[in-house]
Amino acid sequence: MSEKILIIDTSTEACSAALTIDGHISAQFEVAPRIHTKLILPMIDHIMTQAKITVNDLTAIAWGRGPGSFTGVRIGSGIMQGLAFGSDKPVLPISTLAAMAQQAIEAHNATDILAAIDARMGEVYWGRFTNIDGLAVLVDQEQVIKPDLLADLSFGELNYVAVGTGWQSYPQLFELANIQHLDDILYPNARFMTKLALNLWSNGHAIDVEQAKPVYLRDTVTWKKLPGRE
C-alpha cells in the first residue's frame, strides 16, 4: 500500500501544506502573517482535491509541532487534531527547526546546519543539525536562548550553514565563525517536511492524536501575558 501523508505547518509567518503520494509531492506555501486560519484549510482542500483523495484515504497526518509563534503552533495543532480525530488517523510530529535544516540539505546539499527562529523578547529558538543519509538529525537539543549566549557557544571547526529568521533578527549572530547564512530559507515549509515525515512513518514513530503535543520551548503563560503577541 502506498503512503499518502498530508503535512501542514502554520508555526511562523509562513503557512504551508503538502501531500506526498508514492514519492510525488504537491504543495502550497505562502508568507502571510496573521491570516493562517483563512489560508490553511483552502490549501489542504486544494491539494487533496487535485489528488482526488479525502482525509479518510490518508495514511497519516504530519504537522509542524513547533517551535514557533504560540498562536501559529496552536493553529496548526488544532487543525491537525481536527483532521486526525475526524478520520482516526495517526499523526507525525515534525520539528520546525528540522524542517528548515532539511530544506538546506535538499536545496543546498548542506552537511551541518544551525536553524534559528526569532522567538521575540530578545531570544531565538535554535537547534543544531547534521546531514545523515540525506536527513536532518538533531545533534544536541532544541532550545530557546538569548542570541548573545548562542554567539558564545563553541561549534568547533565545522563549517555550518545558518537558516531561519533568528539570524536576520539578531545581526550579532553573523559574527559566529565558520557560518554561511542561507537567506532563501527563512521559514519552515511543509514540502521539506515530507522526507522527515516518511522517515518517521517507516520507522514506526507515528503516534495517536491523543499523544500529540505542540512544542513551544517557552512557557506559554509568558506568551499569553503579552498583548497582541503571536
- The CATH number assigned to the domain holding 148 equals 3.30.420.40
Tell me how many domains the chain contains.
2
> Rounded CA gap, 152 and 216, in Å?
24
Which residues form the domain of 116? Answer: 97-181
Q: Is residue 155 part of a domain?
A: yes
Q: Shortest CA distance to 187 belongs to which of 138, 130, 117?
A: 117
Per-residue pLDDT for 179 more than 90? no
177 pLDDT band, cuts 50/70/90, is: low
Q: Which of these ranges, 46-50, 104-108, 113-117, 148-152, has the smallest mean pLDDT?
A: 148-152
Share of the chain above pLDDT 90, in %: 80
* Confidence tier at 227 by pLDDT (50, 70, 90): very low
Residues 16 and 79 in one domain: yes
Position 72 in a domain: yes
Q: Are residues 194 and 204 in the same domain?
A: yes
d(CA 72, CA 36): 8
Confidence at residue 164, expressed as pLDDT on a 0 to 100 scale: 96
Confidence of residue 24 (pLDDT cuts 50, 70, 90): very high
Would you say residue 23 lies in a domain? yes
The CA distance from 13 to 30, in Å, is 9
Q: Are residues 133 and 67 in the same domain?
A: no
